Structure 1
């Protein structure tokens, strides 16, 4: 499970929950109290209840525990979202690599990703693109920009 998925599922349980990622922990705060229940970011299976009585009185505490248990079982390298990048092939607003989703063909365009064009790529996807003969780019001259 990704951290982002865990946060989404927890916030759907109760608007009283806040997530804090400082200090290497995925920490669920309740009524402004941190470390009520948290998952270690340093190793797998690290799930801790810091304040048992508070935790037992939290809304949907059993479901919360199940979400956090699933997160704790997830290998550390699979919890983070893969970083995505725009591939800038030349200067200007329309100088970014776009891949047509239906045909796989390359074109230059804006950074706006649509249902027709993919413009954000992970490092793994970029390595696959570099191997394609139909993408005539000098990969030493392109620039990677962090996608938001």
Structure 2
């Protein structure tokens, strides 16, 4: 499947030629596919959106859950700053929502950042607030 609105015919032909030269495969046998297309730049949020957080404490451990899909870096940051020796971080709860990419993903223009409906810095803000909640449970 090819989305010609995001890649020009010239770019597709050039890609086929490059692959053919490098691989020895005939250009007619090369299929160029597009899995994700973006026709507009990512728009930063101008309002805030609630991010539900669920915490279940079981003895010296906690399960932390959020609705958006968190990056591994964000989940590891939550675990690192948790006062509990056992912390599990889960995302996509209650039906889930879009990616919540960490700030560096916006600079790298990653899929997660471009797919996100959250503003840059949201992941760090949520991770910090989760840390505050976890520390309040240990007090």
Give the TM-score normalised by structure 2: 0.24
Bigger strand share: 1
TM-score (norm 1): 0.23
